[in-house]
Amino acid sequence: MTVTSLADRLPASPPELPEHPHADVTFIQRPPLGSILRAVSLPPYGGDTVWANTATAYTALPKELRTLADNLWAVHANTPDNAPTRSSDDSAQARTMRETFTARSFITEHPVVRVHPETGERLLLLSKFIRRFVGWTPENSQPLLKLLRTYIPLPEHAVRWRWAQGDVAFWDNRSTEHYAVRDYDPHPRRMQRITLAGDVPVSVQGEHSRVVAGDDTDYTTSLTHPHDGKPSDRDHLASPPAP
């Protein structure tokens, strides 16, 4: 099942994108399985993409932190402050992106550690969309969340790809975080992306992620109709601009 991305409806080089590792669209019950990204036009320098492995990040945690993380759940939401622009950017383009991103409210509770449905690996699910841990206040959640997240972008857990014209990358959104290095301004960088609809995360204890608010049924609708195999113009997935 494939879904289109908000990136397909936005300029190729959005203004002031935040540069930090993230997994896409974790505020819905079925975050994307992964994405396929193709380099259409590249700047003369810069614009690499970095992927970090959340399975190796999990195994790098001290035993005590792994035990704690195994039993934690987190509240993910698509609030304006985690839209795919910097909050300080008040341009018309950035405002439009934020309005599109928050047009519908989604709140979901996910396990902090999910089990990969194919490999059985334990993976950290610690995206930027986390507001707090379940049963914790936002203030008390932030120090532990910050500590856990420090294990994800370590160089030994990451790979950095230097794009060449026509390159195609396919990554698992369930077991990685990614970001584009913003070192190519003012040159344009155009990438074409297909995002794949995903499954409901399952915790170490076998519990499934829970919807608090928002129906994501049509948020990850199939692009292809069985009778004609052609994409539908109305189906979309509002994910961040292409990394």
Q: Positive or negative CA dihedral for 87, 173, 176, 45?
A: negative
Catalytic entry in 122, 149, 178, 236: 178
230: DSSP letter? P
Catalytic entry in 22, 114, 157, 174: 22
Tell me how far apart the alpha carbons of residues 140 and 146 are, in angstroms, rounded to a whole number. Answer: 11
Give the angle subtended at the CA of 132 by the CAs of 131 and 133, to the nearest 5°: 145
Annotated active-site residue 178? The verdict is yes
Catalytic entry in 110, 174, 193, 236: 193
Annotated active-site residue 24? The verdict is yes
Name 195's Cβ contacts closer than 8 Å, sequence gap at least 6: 2, 3, 4, 5, 24, 32, 34, 35, 237, 239
Catalytic entry in 24, 76, 149, 157: 24
Which residues are registered as beta bridge partners of 194? 36
Annotated active-site residue 90? The verdict is no
Q: Cite the active site residues.
A: 22, 24, 178, 193
